[in-house]
Amino acid sequence: MNVLGIETSCDETGVAVYATDAGLRAHALYSQVALHAEYGGVVPELASRDHVRKLLPLIRQTLGEAGLRVEDLDGVAYTAGPGLVGALLVGAGVARALAWALQVPAIGVHHMEGHLLAPLLEDPALRPPFVALLVSGGHTQLVAVEAIGRYRLLGETLDDAAGEAFDKTAKLMGLPYPGGPQLAALAEQGRPGAFRFARPMTDRPGLDFSFSGLKTQVLLAWQGSDQGEQTRADIARAFEEAVVETLAIKCERALEATGHDTLIVAGGVGANRRLRAALEAMTARRGARVRFPRPAFCTDNGAMIAFAGALRLAAGLHDDAAVRVHARWDMAGLPEVRGGRG
């Protein structure tokens, strides 16, 4: 089964083809970073219009790279939420129209389930149960995964997501958009121990997160400093260390609480090198294991949507012809995939 995947939840247009018998055939991604940089953040209307311009050319490109014609598709998967409604509607409209024209099934994929399943895309031996850390610009969640489609929320952020905290902290120190990757790169030049910030909510039981207070600590430290380049790097390192250690502590608690020995990490912040090293060290110490998608599949992409959709379509699940998208969508309400890899 050849499944086309379409991702348009925010500011990246992603397209991929996944074959249930051969794996990922091709994928392409267009980022709108340059478009939104002038405004210091994503402008929803501009994002939607750019998806309209880029989606069909990317579909043609991806099919060509896969060596397929549009008639060779057996199903279409698209991000149905959560995300920006206008951007989601572009992908959903194209996907539903294409599926109708080809008379093939289509399915709306939960964006965060796509991220959650991304490590399985290239690791066929990886199966539930495991703990998943979903850590991105919009979400920071710990999820117990008992089967594909059977998810239990263990903890989540009470305010800023980790990626959002990276972006806001970078902005307050004058780093260009998008700030998170800029801050992580700058942290490599910081001196260890020059600053130290709290590890929020690690001094109490539970698996929830909070990063807004950490952001305030950084602001006060920056305002009270000489604001030189080395100081900026030192603060960036201390901030990154605080976020990474907090995430590692909570992940270890989640493994203890569930009794699972596998941790998977997905979402844009999952590409952070310091986080990867910390989680590898923590799981090795416990005799457990951690798995990440390749960095290109940590950020939003069509491959994860094609893969997640293919699993559901192969299990006989599909949607009706209505075009539905969800700005917010609880992953716990998804149906379980039976008879598949879960």
Q: Residue positions in the annotated binding site for substrate?
A: 134-138, 167, 180, 272
Distance of CA 328 to the CA centre of its chain: 15
**Binding-site residues for Fe cation:** 111, 115, 300
Helices 212-223, 229-258: axis angle to 10 degrees equals 160
Give residues with Cβ within 8 angstroms of 27, minimum separation 6: 14, 15, 16, 17, 62, 301, 302, 303, 306
Pairing of strands 12-19, 2-7: antiparallel
**Binding-site residues:** 111, 115, 134-138, 167, 180, 272, 300
Unique residue bearing structure tokens 């539903």: 96
